[in-house]
């Protein structure tokens, strides 16, 4: 039995999210269907992160067991052929039997993109959170630094308790302004368009952690937004974490600005 | 009676096109509805170009008569408020009573964007024509030059005869490769991301003419594509124009790569 690992990118707009749901089409189901068309086998696909409805992925990682002997190159081409246009395969490789996309992950990287401009932008509505008010990005970044390290993050967890533990370690959290479209360059497929720019209209919140609670990045975004508006201080954010109460933190930012960028595994 | 001129941008994906149709929602109808909500008047909006279903606009121009005395600034803000997220107003100004967006237009600029790469790109599917095969862009540009000037372009007209005359003057036609996303920079709202690049994955076909026949840009794109594939020569394109037969030209390229960029009027 081979264990096949896929790196996937998808536009989450038209999906109920990664996981199979009764109320619509999931990314998991369309990938499983493509695998079945290709290999003839009905598989259960496991993923590194269960992205929500409307959330996008640039580097989701998923794995499935197979008895097929189709080469990785042909699995890639075949799945691309069978997948709808809004889901694609970036990479296919064979991994050890014990590899599990969730449990083997060392860390995950998410990016949340705010389009911070008074001008509406029809072409971005499904790919950013359009926020009109001016935001103090330096203050957002500064306040974000209190979240670094190992903490109980249940203050940012929707529907606590979902997990055995709400303790996670945030390894990196940066908030910056960019000019240029800050998404597709992540693929490596296009050139690097996004340049740090104090007057840029895109605000990117980049977070790397060993794991994420349900809606954690979106709740952190909603919280740091209040700091950007000048309504909350860095100390206030520190207290929110201490109080361990979701109702004290900011609102959950909308899904369309969120991208699962990358999942790292031990080499 | 005032004559109000709007510059509009829209994502054409979810519309049947500019013009009101029985089979779906048109851009014209949503803008007319927004005007009615704002002014209380039922108006008939005239536009510079009737974009087709799936075709986008960065600078469509439309005008309507009104008895309202709402300032241009407030018309802009009000319409943005009432319009759906995929249609927006870039500019509002009062123009002379005799101004007509179609008949007063001196020239229009369209851009057709081909994403020329073997890698699928889920986020671009509604905004470019993804064409996998390698294309000789220099040959496409070169062949495009035979279309410059005043010609009977019925060879590129769908459903001829639509118009009293098929004679148009193409003032500019360039085909080039770009790296960086070549669309939003047109708005001026975002920084200029697209850079001419011989290895870029975006091919832009830019055409300026005094007027365009139905599907003309898309038929020219389909024709120059054959040149890019090495199947047709520059001389062959010249003959297509001479023969005045639509069936001799290339296929109509799909709508989602096409953008009405700008309409110019006499100052």
DSSP letters spanning B42-103: ----EES--PBTT-EEEEEEEEEEE-----HHHHHHHHHHHS-TTEEEEEEEEE-TT--TTT
Which CATH code, of 3.30.70.100, 3.30.230.10, 3.30.70.580, 3.40.50.720, is assigned to A2-95? 3.30.70.580
Between CA B19 and CA B22 the distance in angstroms is: 10
Q: How confident is the model at residue B189 (pLDDT cuts 50, 70, 90)?
A: very low
Which member of B87, B120, B195 has the closest CB to residue A88? B120
Chain B nearest CA to A47, separation (Å): 19
Q: What is the pLDDT of residues B20-67, one digit of tens each?
A: 999 999 999 999 999 999 999 999 999 999 999 999 999 999 999 999
- Report whether pLDDT(B191) > 70: no
Residue to test with chain A: of B86, B127, B191, most A Cβ within 10 A: B191
**Sign (positive/negative) of CA torsion A50, A56, A57, A63?**
positive
Q: What tokens were used for A150?
A: 């190992």
- Which residues on A lie below 8 Å from B123 (Cβ)? 11, 56, 127, 183-184
Can you tell me the distance from the alpha carbon of A191 to that of B201, in angstroms, rounded to the nearest whole number? 9
Query: Residue A238 — φ and ψ, nearest 5°?
Result: -60, -45
* Cα Rg of chain B (Å, integer): 19
Note the pLDDT of residue A188.
40
pLDDT at B196 over 90: no
For the question of residue B11 being annotated catalytic, the response is: no
Give the closest-approach CA distance of A264 to chain B in angstroms.
Answer: 22
CA distance A14 to A27: 9
Residues whose CB is less than 8 angstroms from the CB of residue B97 and which lie 6 or more positions away in sequence, other chains included: B1, B3
Intervals of CATH 3.30.70.660 along chain A = 106-265
Task: Tell me the torsion sign for CA atoms A217, A219, A225, A226.
Answer: negative
Give ipTM to 2 decimals: 0.89
Name the residue with higher pLDDT: A190 or A245.
A245
Cβ contact A122–B201 (<8 Å): no
For the stretch A87-105, pLDDT in tens is: 999 999 999 999 999 999 9
Task: Answer whether B62's CB lies under 8 Å from B47's CB.
Answer: yes
For residue B195, the model assigns a pLDDT of 75
Q: At residue A66, does pLDDT exceed 70?
A: yes
Round the average pLDDT of chain B to a whole number and report it: 92
SS3 of residue A106 by DSSP:
strand
Q: Distance of alpha carbon A162 from its chain centroid, rounded?
A: 18
Query: Is it true that domain A106-265 has CATH number 3.10.129.10?
Result: no
Report the chain A residue with the minimal C-alpha distance to residue B192: A180
* Predicted confidence (pLDDT) per residue in A126-165, tens digit: 999 999 999 999 999 999 999 999 999 999 998 766 668 9
Q: What backbone torsions phi and psi does residue B205 show, to the nearest 5 degrees? A: -110, 110
Chain B residues in contact with A201 (beta carbon < 8 A): 189-190
Range(s) of chain B covered by CATH 3.30.70.660 = 107-265
Give, in order, the Cα–Cα distances in Å from B182 to each of A176, A180, A189, B178: 23, 11, 15, 7
What distance in Å separates the CA atoms of residue B81 and residue B89, rounded to the nearest whole number? Answer: 10
CATH code for residues B107-265: 3.30.70.660
Could you give the CA distance from residue A239 to residue A242 in angstroms, rounded to a whole number? 5
User: Strand, helix or coil at A198?
Assistant: coil
pLDDT at A197: 84
CA angle, A111 then A114 then A115, to 5°:
135
d(CA A258, nearest CA chain B) in Å: 14
DSSP symbol at B221: H
Name B206's bridge partners. B111, B174
Write down the pLDDT at residue A119.
Answer: 87
Give the pLDDT score at A193.
60
Neighbours of B215 (CB within 10 A): 22
Provide the CB-side half-sphere exposure for B255 (13 A, CA): 18
Tens digit of each residue's pLDDT (9 = 90 or more) over B247-257: 999 999 999 99
Q: Contacts of residue A121 in chain B, CB cutoff 8 Å? A: 88, 184, 187, 189
Residue keyed to tokens 């990785």: A72
Is residue A258 scored above 90 in pLDDT? yes
What is the count of residue pairs from A and B with beta carbons less than 8 Å apart? 82
Classified as helix, coil or strand, B174 is strand
CA distance B255 to B56: 8
User: Is 80 exceeded by the pLDDT of residue A170?
Assistant: yes
**C-alpha pair distances (Å), B137 with each of A185, A204, B203, B224, B239:** 23, 35, 8, 9, 20
Give CATH 3.30.70.580 domain extents, chain B: 2-95
Bridge-partner residues for B113, per DSSP? B204
């Amino acid at each position: 039995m081979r264990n096949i690992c896929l790196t996937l990118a998808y536009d989450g707009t038209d999906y109920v999210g990664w996981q199979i749901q009764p109320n619509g089409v999931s990314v998991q189901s369309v990938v499983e269907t493509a695998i079945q068309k290709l290999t003839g086998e009905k598989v259960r696909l496991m993923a590194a992160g269960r992205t929500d409805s409307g959330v996008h992925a640039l580097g989701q990682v998923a794995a499935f067991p197979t008895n097929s002997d189709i080469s990785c190159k042909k699995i890639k081409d075949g799945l691309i052929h069978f997948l709808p246009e809004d889901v694609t395969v970036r990479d296919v490789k064979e991994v050890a039997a014990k590899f599990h996309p969730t449990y083997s992950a060392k860390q995950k990287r998410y990016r949340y993109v705010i389009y911070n401009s008074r001008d509406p932008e029809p072409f971005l509505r499904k790919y950013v959170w359009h926020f009109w008010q001016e935001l103090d990005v330096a203050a957002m970044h500064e306040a974000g630094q209190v979240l670094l390290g190992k903490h109980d993050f249940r203050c940012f967890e929707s529907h606590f308790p979902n997990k055995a533990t709400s303790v996670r370690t945030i390894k990196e959290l940066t908030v910056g302004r960019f000019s240029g479209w800050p998404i597709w360059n992540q693929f490596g497929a296009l050139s690097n368009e996004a340049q740090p720019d104090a007057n840029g209209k895109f605000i990117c919140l980049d977070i790397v952690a060993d794991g994420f609670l349900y809606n954690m990045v979106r709740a952190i975004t909603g919280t740091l937004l209040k700091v950007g508006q000048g309504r909350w201080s860095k100390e206030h954010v520190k207290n929110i974490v201490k109080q361990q109460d979701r109702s004290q933190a900011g609102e959950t930012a909308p899904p369309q600005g969120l991208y699962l960028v990358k999942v790292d595994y031990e080499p």
